[in-house]
């Protein structure tokens, strides 16, 4: 078996792309999108008709609603190709707006359900700010499942788990990027700080019986991926899926519930003040969270302009 086939024995594979062809090629269980991936996709000739149709069918509505319909159109096309769930992201400009995020999550689910897609097949992606986590807590109680993204630290992960969030996406590659830049060192294998972060979160969740799924995200190389074999899910870009499919090197299980349950860990008490303080104490997590929100906001604005140019 190639590495991708081996990995599928231990972990649910998710495609991190807006490219439908990649999904056909690698047969993932689930798929994730974000504003940057959708922006990239709609600028390709094969996906531009989805943008044009959203503008044509909803052009009389505010730009925000046209974008919502575009995101759902992408999600629906993706769901035709996968057996599982698609993640659709809320507007990053709502990252510090609990009520706005709740409203957006409800609106996106309503569009999916109007199109005949059950809410169980959709994850609403929300940034892992305190406000975003509180919004997800409300949505989860309404049966709207959430994927908390831009997650770089254990306090963010614990807050999500205690809020009853369905799934979190800790960002391996961006953590690696920060440490590589700040220390000037190269990291690989189990020494990679991004890998260590996800292992720590997975171990904590399974040790203390949280139901929240852990999905490693944002990979820079296949070593980061294979070091997390056994994680609940891993969301992987098409180029790295291709590299895994082309390699026959052995893949060993690295994470398991049994190992986690045997770990010597203390449970961490976390309220809003503790969350904010611990996040602030973590320079990497603070910087990467802020940077990620800014990046997604910039791409959301570019997407707005593409829509407005077609009106």
**Residue tagged 């190709």 (tokens):** 81
CA distance 214 to 303: 29
In angstroms, how far is CA 210 from the centroid of its own chain? 19
User: What is the rounded CA–CA span in Å between residue 97 and residue 226?
Assistant: 36
Q: Taking a C-beta distance cutoff of 8 angstroms, is the pair 193, 285 a contact?
A: no
Contact 210, 192 (CB under 8 A): no
Question: What span, in angstroms and rounded, lies between the C-alpha atoms of 52 and 74?
Answer: 12
In sequence order, the 6+-apart residues with CB closer than 8 A to the CB of 44 are none
Give residue 65's Cα distance to chain centre: 22
Looking up tokens 């996968």, which residue turns up?
A: 82
Contact 106, 141 (CB under 8 A): no
Which positions are catalytic? 125
Cβ neighbours around 26 below 10 Å, total: 17
Which residues are registered as beta bridge partners of 31?
Answer: 15, 86
Whole-angstrom Cα distance, residue 85 to residue 176? 27
């Amino acid at each position: 078996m190639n590495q991708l086939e081996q990995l599928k024995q231990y972990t649910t594979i998710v495609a991190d792309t807006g490219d439908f062809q990649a999904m056909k090629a690698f047969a993932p269980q689930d798929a994730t999108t974000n504003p940057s991936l959708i922006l990239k996709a709609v600028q390709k000739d094969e996906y531009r008709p989805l943008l044009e149709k959203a503008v044509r069918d909803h052009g009389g509505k505010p730009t925000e609603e046209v974008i919502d319909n575009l995101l759902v159109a992408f999600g629906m096309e993706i769901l035709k190709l996968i057996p599982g769930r698609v993640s659709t992201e809320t507007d990053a400009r709502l990252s510090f707006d609990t009520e706005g995020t709740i409203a957006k999550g409800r609106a996106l689910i309503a569009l999916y359900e109007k199109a005949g897609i059950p809410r169980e097949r959709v994850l609403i992606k929300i940034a892992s700010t305190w406000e975003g986590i509180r919004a997800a807590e409300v949505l989860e109680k309404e049966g709207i499942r959430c994927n908390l993204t831009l997650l770089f630290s254990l306090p963010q992960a614990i807050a999500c788990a205690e809020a009853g969030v369905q799934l979190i996406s800790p960002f391996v590659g961006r953590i690696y990027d920060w440490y590589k830049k700040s220390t000037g060192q190269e990291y690989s294998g189990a020494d990679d700080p991004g890998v260590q972060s996800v292992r720590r979160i997975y171990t904590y969740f399974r040790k203390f019986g949280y139901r929240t799924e852990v999905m490693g995200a944002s990979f820079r190389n296949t070593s980061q991926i294979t070091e997390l074999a056994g994680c609940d899910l891993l969301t992987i870009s098409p180029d790295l899926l291709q590299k895994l499919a082309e390699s026959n090197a052995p893949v060993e299980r690295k994470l398991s519930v049994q190992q986690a349950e045997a770990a010597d860990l203390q449970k961490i008490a976390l309220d809003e003040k503790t969350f904010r303080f611990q996040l602030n104490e973590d320079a990497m997590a603070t910087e990467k969270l802020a940077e990620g929100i800014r990046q997604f906001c910039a791409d959301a604005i570019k997407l707005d302009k593409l829509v407005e140019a077609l009106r």
